[in-house]
Amino acid sequence: MSEPISIDIWSDIACPWCYIGKRNLEAGLAATASDEDAPEVRITFHSFELSPDTPVDFDGDEIDFLAGHKGMPREQVEQMLSHVTNVAAQAGLEYNFDKLQHTNTVKAHELLHHAKAKGLQHEMEERLMSAYFTEGRHVGRIDDLVALAAEVGLDAAETAEVLQSSQYLDAVRADQAQARAYGINGVPFFVIDGKYGVSGAQPAEAFQNVIRDVWAQRGADSEEELAG
């Protein structure tokens, strides 16, 4: 039996295209699950901060942030957010930019590493993205993050201690260093089997095809090895 395909995803929980890409990947994998020889995958999320200079408590809404950060006219930002909201809806996601609380995400990334150590990284990733884009929850302050962590089954007291001590900050920085080594300067970015890079929130069909191709190649390689 072949080893699972590794899918390493560099993303930021405050990246709207990352949540869309996550959903499209999940849809692509769901489509392969009924294959006679269904691919097996192992997904790991890695840290990438889109705006590391953002304050924890940003004074303004998402339009204020993007207009100031990217120097875009407010009308253009509004059109861009409307487009992203529509694309998200097609992926089954409800984005509420009017409620969104822009913040620094480094502590959220530390939390994801803690969740990974406890076997709950996928649940934590989903909870953070949903809280941020759909519910308008704050995901930059330790108390707010601890509350979200408890919702997915992490111990609140332990999580608070981990975040206050910055126990996983080095792991966050290591992910970011690996991204630079790969030449990743935008997210989402998917590295499949350590060989193939897929950039951006590709459609579900694109993920479906590449996963099937990699799995088929795995099978062909295994047959060659058995044949000697």
Confidence of residue 69 (pLDDT cuts 50, 70, 90): confident
Mean pLDDT to the nearest integer, 12-32: 98
**pTM of the full predicted structure?**
0.95
What's the pLDDT score for residue 39? 95
Q: Per-residue pLDDT for 165 more than 70? A: yes
Burial of 141 (0-12, 13-18, 19+ CB in 10 A): middle
Q: Which residue has better confidence, 104 or 222?
A: 104
CA–CA separation, 114 and 47 (whole Å): 12
Asked if residue 200 lies in contact with residue 17, where contact means CB atoms within 8 angstroms, the answer is yes
What's the pLDDT score for residue 1? 56
| C-alpha dihedral (206, 209, 214, 220), degrees to nearest 10 | -160
What's the pLDDT score for residue 208? 96
Q: Which domain holds residue 116?
A: 5-227
What's the pLDDT score for residue 219? 75
Mean pLDDT to the nearest integer, 145-170: 98
Question: What tens digit of pLDDT does each residue of 25-51 get?
Answer: 999 999 999 999 999 999 999 999 999
Question: What tens digit of pLDDT does each residue of 98-152 get?
Answer: 999 999 999 999 999 999 999 999 999 999 999 999 999 999 999 999 999 999 9
How many domains is the chain partitioned into structurally? 1
Tokens 């989903």 label which residue? 126
Q: Per-residue pLDDT for 223 more than 70? A: no
- The CATH code of the domain that includes 19 is 3.40.30.10
The least confident of 1-10, 96-105, 162-171 is 1-10
Instruction: Give the DSSP letter string of the chain.
Output: -PPPEEEEEEE-TT-HHHHHHHHHHHHHHHHHTTSTT---EEEEEEE--S-TT--SS-SS-HHHHHHHHH---HHHHHHHHHHHHHHHHHTT----TTT------HHHHHHHHHHHHTT-HHHHHHHHHHHHHTS----SSHHHHHHHHHHTT--HHHHHHHHHHTTTHHHHHHHHHHHHHHT--SS-EEEETTTEEEES---HHHHHHHHHHHHHHHHHHHHHHHH-
Q: Per-residue pLDDT for 84 more than 80? A: yes
HSE, side-chain direction, 13 A CA sphere, residue 222: 9
Confidence of residue 220 (pLDDT cuts 50, 70, 90): confident
For the chain, the average pLDDT equals 95
Q: Per-residue pLDDT for 222 more than 70? A: no
What's the pLDDT score for residue 200? 97
